[in-house]
C-alpha cells in the first residue's frame, strides 16, 4: 500500500508541476490533481498550489500522506497544459493506470518548449499587423515582423543558456528598439516607435496577467498577487530593454 501511495503521489505532483510550469492557473492545477485522484484513490485529498510550489495531502486507510514539490521555472506552454488535461480525462474514464499515466507525463515533461519556426513566423506576422494598426506602412510591417522574429529567436537561445528570465525579457525589449533605430539611422525610412512597439507587443506577458486576474477573482490571493508581480517585472524588463536599446542606437 505504501508503494502504491508513493507512486500515486508522484503522479499527482508531476501533473501539478507540469501545469504550473506551463503557465496554468493555480485552481486549474488543484482541480486537475483532485480529479485524477478521485479516479485512482479511495480516500480524501487536499491540494494547495502556488505559483512556486504545490502540496498534495492524502488521507487514506486512517493514515496521512503528504508531499511538496518546488516549482522553479515558469513559462507559457498551452500545448503541455492541453496534453496533461488529456491524460487527466483518460484517467477519469479509467483508461490509464498509475504507471502508464506516469510514463505519459514524463514524456510530456521531457518535451522542450523551444519556439518552433512556425511560432516565430506567426509572431512576426502578428507584430507586423500591430505596426499597421498603429499607423505604420508596408516597411514598418516587414521591419516589425523581422525585429520580433529576431528577438524571439535570440530569447530562445538565451533561455537555454541563462537562468534569469529578466535577461530574456530584457533582450526582447532591447533588440527591437536597437534594430529599428539602426535601420532608421542608415535608411531614414520607417517609423522607429511604430516598429519597436509592434515588435514588442507579442512579447508582453498578456497570458500571465490574465492568469493573475483569474487567480485573484477565484480567491487565490497569494498566487494572484505573485503572478501580478511577475507579469509587471516582465513588462518592466521589456521597457528597460527598449529604453537602453533606443539609447544605444541613437548613440551609435
Mean pLDDT of 136-141: 86
Determine the Cα–Cα distance for residues 91 and 177; give it in Å rounded to an integer.
48
Q: Which residue has the cell 494547495?
A: 48
Percent of the chain with pLDDT over 90: 24
Does 10 score more than 90 pLDDT? yes
Strand (E) or helix (H) holding 48: strand 44-49
Residue 91's pLDDT is 93
User: Which one-letter DSSP state was computed for residue 73?
Assistant: -
- 59 grid coordinates: 488521507
Determine the Cα–Cα distance for residues 123 and 143; give it in Å rounded to an integer.
13
Of the candidates 47, 190, 219, the residue with the CA atom closest to the CA atom of residue 128:
190
Residue 1's pLDDT is 47
Does 161 score more than 70 pLDDT? no
Residue 209's pLDDT is 85
Residue 86's pLDDT is 94
The model's pLDDT over 182-203, given as tens digits with 9 standing for 90+, comes to: 877 777 667 888 888 888 888 8
Mean pLDDT of 214-242: 86
Residue 163's pLDDT is 56
Q: Which residue has the cell 536599446?
A: 245
Query: 90 versus 216: which is more confidently predicted?
Result: 90
pTM as predicted: 0.81
Highest mean pLDDT among 15-19, 43-47, 176-180: 15-19
Mean pLDDT of 33-47: 89
Does 219 score more than 60 pLDDT? yes
Of the candidates 190, 159, 188, 162, the residue with the CA atom closest to the CA atom of residue 176:
190
Compute the mean pLDDT over every residue in the chain, rounded to the nearest whole number.
Answer: 85
- 221 grid coordinates: 490571493
Does 130 score more than 50 pLDDT? yes
Residue 5's pLDDT is 85
The model's pLDDT over 84-121, given as tens digits with 9 standing for 90+, comes to: 999 999 998 989 989 999 999 999 988 765 556 778 88
Q: Which residues pair with 66 in a beta bridge?
A: 57
CA distances from 10 to 30, 102, 147, 209 (A): 15, 8, 43, 30
Among 29-33, 114-118, 168-172, 197-201, the range scoring the smallest mean pLDDT is 114-118
Sheet containing strand 44-49, edge to edge, reads: 44-49, 53-60, 63-70
Rg over alpha carbons for the chain, rounded to the nearest Å, is: 22
Mean pLDDT of 15-40: 91
Amino acid at each position: 500500500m505504501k508503494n502504491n501511495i508513493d507512486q500515486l503521489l508522484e503522479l499527482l505532483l508531476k501533473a501539478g508541476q507540469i501545469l504550473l510550469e506551463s503557465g496554468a492557473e493555480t485552481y486549474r492545477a488543484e482541480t486537475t490533481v483532485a480529479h485524477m485522484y478521485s479516479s485512482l484513490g479511495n480516500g480524501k485529498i487536499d491540494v494547495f498550489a502556488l505559483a512556486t510550489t504545490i502540496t498534495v495531502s492524502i488521507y487514506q486507510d486512517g493514515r496521512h500522506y503528504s508531499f511538496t514539490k518546488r516549482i522553479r521555472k515558469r513559462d507559457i506552454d498551452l500545448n503541455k497544459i492541453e496534453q496533461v488535461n488529456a491524460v487527466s480525462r483518460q484517467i477519469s474514464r479509467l483508461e490509464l493506470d498509475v504507471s502508464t499515466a506516469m510514463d505519459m507525463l514524463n514524456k510530456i515533461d521531457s518535451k522542450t518548449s523551444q519556439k518552433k519556426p512556425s511560432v516565430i513566423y506567426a509572431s512576426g506576422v502578428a507584430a507586423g499587423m500591430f505596426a499597421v494598426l498603429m499607423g505604420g506602412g508596408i516597411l514598418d510591417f516587414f521591419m516589425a515582423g523581422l525585429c520580433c522574429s529576431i528577438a524571439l529567436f535570440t530569447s530562445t537561445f538565451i533561455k537555454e543558456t541563462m537562468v534569469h528570465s529578466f535577461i530574456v525579457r530584457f533582450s526582447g525589449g532591447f533588440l527591437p528598439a536597437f534594430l529599428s533605430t539602426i535601420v532608421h539611422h542608415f535608411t531614414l525610412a520607417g517609423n522607429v516607435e511604430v516598429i519597436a512597439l509592434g515588435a514588442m507587443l507579442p512579447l508582453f506577458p498578456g497570458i500571465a496577467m490574465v492568469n493573475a486576474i483569474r487567480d485573484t477573482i477565484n480567491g487565490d490571493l497569494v498566487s494572484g498577487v505573485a503572478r501580478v508581480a511577475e507579469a509587471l517585472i516582465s513588462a518592466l524588463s521589456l521597457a528597460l530593454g527598449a529604453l537602453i536599446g533606443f539609447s544605444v542606437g541613437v548613440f551609435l
